[in-house]
Amino acid sequence: MKKLRELTVDETFEMFVLVKTADVRVAKNNKKFIAFTFQDTSGTIDGKYWDASDEEIGKFKAGKVVNLSGKRETYQGRAQVKILHLRLAQVDEPNQANLYVERAPVKSEDMLEEINQTLFEITNAHWQRVVRHILNKYQQEFYEFPAAKTNHHAFAGGLAYHTVSMLHLAKAICKEYLELNPSLLYAGVILHDIGKVLELSGATSTEYTIAGNLIGHIVLIDEEIAKACQALEIDDQEEDMIVLKHMVLSHHGLLEYGSPVRPKIMEAEVLHQIDTIDASMQMMIGALKQVQPGEYTERIFGLDNRNFYLPNE
């Protein structure tokens, strides 16, 4: 049986899917509709449920498994589904949300082993102790959470997978540029997005938490570093800790992208660059998997709404 992202344009289908998001909106005729994002292990697709009653709005919530009958269409360059019929999955049907969650292509235990080995390469004692402390505190969430709600690595285990991919890039760059401090770069890579375990709600029906909306993962991880220093009796005003904080605070690169400061040391600039590379690659690879040679992808919101061409050779 086909999955969501395997459907072709104008193909009709019936399948069980997870409601990833269900946003209630008001149409021009003042009637309510639900803007859905449906999900299975192949990815997501959007669809609108018009003239939704209050009962239907209360029933079709994020996190519910539904039986979806529809038609695959394209709107403004993006795949969407025209909903023909929708009902909740029954007790005797595959109604467990975890059956429909996309997962990282690498096992959690393998990522755990690789990150644990990298910790031994962080030779600054303060940095290593702080990184270990925070990883131990959020170990379960770190290997289960996505790296984002929708843009890049938005699947279970995506946060750890993004981190491991960035470590691969960081290690290659450190071999090329011996002027870099590998300990600092590796510590920054491991910590840079771990605040997302507080910013996001989890791998299923991912939403932003109150802290995620009002504070954001960059400030949240800065706070976690301060808490770790206090627990480990490390002075967070020593230069090495200020430098580590600078790594995470500047990793978005620009103030308008959420960083309170721009990178001002080499390792911080490299961290920002490899974060951008890995996020961009994941978005492009995911989109290009959905098209044939000679075709363009859907527009990718996280890449300035551009679409990408898959060459024939």
- Is residue 169 scored above 90 in pLDDT? yes
Residue 210: what pLDDT?
A: 95
Residue 153: what pLDDT?
A: 81
Residue 289: what pLDDT?
A: 83
Residue 18: what pLDDT?
A: 93
Q: Which of the four pLDDT bands, split at 50, 70 and 90, describes residue 155?
A: confident
Residue 9: what pLDDT?
A: 87
The mean pLDDT of 278-302, rounded to a whole number, is 88
The residues pairing with 81 across neighbouring beta strands, listed in sequence order, are 47, 72
- Is residue 150 scored above 80 in pLDDT? no
- Is residue 78 scored above 90 in pLDDT? no
- Is residue 6 scored above 90 in pLDDT? no
Residue 206: what pLDDT?
A: 81
Lowest mean pLDDT across 76-85, 192-201, 232-241: 76-85
Q: Which of the four pLDDT bands, split at 50, 70 and 90, describes residue 204?
A: confident
Q: Which of the four pLDDT bands, split at 50, 70 and 90, describes residue 87?
A: very high
- List Cβ neighbours of 251 (8 Å cut-off, separation of 6 or more): 188, 192, 218, 259, 263, 268, 271, 272, 275
Q: Which residues of 239-257 are buried (b: 16+ CB within 10 A; e: fewer)?
A: ebbebbbbbbbbbbbeeee
Neighbouring C-beta atoms of residue 19, cutoff 10 Å? 23
pLDDT tens column, 253-270: 888 888 999 999 999 999
- Is residue 151 scored above 80 in pLDDT? no
Residue 246: what pLDDT?
A: 97
Q: Which of the four pLDDT bands, split at 50, 70 and 90, describes residue 33?
A: very high
| Domains of the chain listed by start with CATH number | 4-100 (2.40.50.140), 108-285 (1.10.3210)
Quote the distance between the C-alpha of residue 268 and its chain's center: 21
Residue 243 CA to residue 238 CA, distance in Å, equals 9
Residue 124: what pLDDT?
A: 97
The pair of structure tokens assigned to 212 is: 């995620």
Q: Which of the four pLDDT bands, split at 50, 70 and 90, describes residue 147?
A: confident
pLDDT tens column, 88-135: 999 999 999 888 888 888 999 999 999 999 999 999 999 999 999 999
